[in-house]
Amino acid sequence: MEEIKVKQQKRVNYQEIAGNMLKSILAGMCISLGGIAYLASQNKIVGALFFTVGLFMVLTMSLNLFTGKICYAFDNKPSYLLKCLLVWVGNLIGAVAVGYLLQLTRLDSLQASVIELANTKLSDTWYSVFILGILCNILIYVAVDGYKNNETALGKYLSVFFGVSIFVLCGFEHCVADMFYFSFAGAWSWHTLLYVIIITLGNVVGGLLFPLCKKLYNKKVV
């Protein structure tokens, strides 16, 4: 009986991992849809506003997005970091898939814009994209935590609206969005992977900055 219970537990764990991976892949695809809306917009401000559809879909459908999940690392056990890593991989799969599939459609006319965007990002310095990654995830935390904790629907949606549109308008670096842009531009290389990792690390720092400050503040208050 004990062996059967162990096998059932393992089966449940595998199902949970598979489910989380699927939700991560779908999240990467959702952010890519936001990226497409941004590229298709002639106006930069309008594009930034439409990009919010990506995070809106992630939050309303309870999907797994790395930049949102990492913000809650301090609220979970160390093993949570492994889950975040798996989420990152799933986001990568989803974003890369959409980027390369888009090249097979008539929307490949947008490639000139995305290639220019990718070249701008990849010609930047590593410390610049790292800092921009930090600033991006501060706003992602504002968006995700605002959606999570606001009691009214209007408050939830405004958090997403302002948090996302501002980071896009300012040109901050979001690792999953960049996974899509680099894929659609056909710009993947070891250099590209290195930049995605640096941007990811910046997103991690930005995502943990405000939660850490809140924890330290609460300890002082107590």
If you average pLDDT over residues 160-176, what whole number do you get?
96
Q: What is the DSSP letter of 123?
A: T
Model confidence over 98-143: pLDDT tens digits?
999 999 999 989 999 999 999 999 999 999 999 999 999 999 999 9
Instruction: Give the model's pLDDT for residue 211.
Output: 86
220 has pLDDT over 90: no
Residues 6+ apart with CB under 8 A from 175: 66, 67, 88, 91, 133, 196, 199, 200, 203
Alpha-carbon distances, residue 141 vs 21, 83, 90, 209 (angstroms): 22, 18, 20, 9
Q: Is the pLDDT of residue 221 over 50?
A: no
Selected from 3.40.50.970, 1.20.1740.10, 3.60.15.10, 1.20.1080.10, the CATH number assigned to the domain covering 2-221 reads 1.20.1080.10
Q: 75-102, pLDDT tens digit by residue?
A: 999 999 999 999 999 999 999 999 999 9
Task: Give the start-to-end residue ranges of the domains of the chain.
Answer: 2-221
Give the mean model confidence (pLDDT) for residues 190-197: 97
Buried b (16+ CB within 10 A) or exposed e, 195-221: bbebbbebbbbbbbbebeeeeeeeeee
Residue 219 scores a pLDDT above 90: no
- At residue 213, the pLDDT reads 83
pTM (predicted TM-score):
0.91
Confidence band (pLDDT; 50, 70, 90) for 68?
very high
